[in-house]
Amino acid sequence: MSNRPDVGDAVPDVAMETPDGGSVKPSDFKGGKLVLFFYPKDNTPGCTTENIDFSALVDEFSAAGTSLLGISKDSAKKHQNFIAKHALKAPLATDPEEDGLADALGIWVEKSMYGRSYMGMERTTFLVDADGKIAQVWRKVKVKGHAAEVLEAAKAL
């Protein structure tokens, strides 16, 4: 079995921390569709744009019976600041530092910048169906137009 679950596989059920100190996991959304969008870091240009784009479409996703959850390894406190600074409406969660959902999905990967290697989040979005199975995956996401594309896929599911 690949360490990168793909379309048709059940989404791993790993608990994450919410900005208010609570807990959330994919199975909490069973019975409805769910978009898990993983992004590298709060308050960086691409990630900010992606979160604003998803937030702008929260009502449309809701009308399509789809919940949103933005996920990074940033702390709950950083998420609170990020949400407040940009008036974000799409809920966020903090993936555990080790053995988190990103690890289980194979998207916490080695990256390199300026010749330096480090572990980082591969910008990836998963559309999960009402049974908790992965319906569609967008890997190495380009932010422009992405939220709208995911919305169309959610409507079609």
Residues identified as active-site: 47
d(CA 98, CA 50): 24
d(CA 75, CA 29): 22
Residue 157: which residues within 8 A CB-CB, separation 6 or more?
33, 127, 129, 135, 136
Task: List, in sequence order, every residue forming a beta bridge with 119; answer none if it has no partner.
Answer: 110
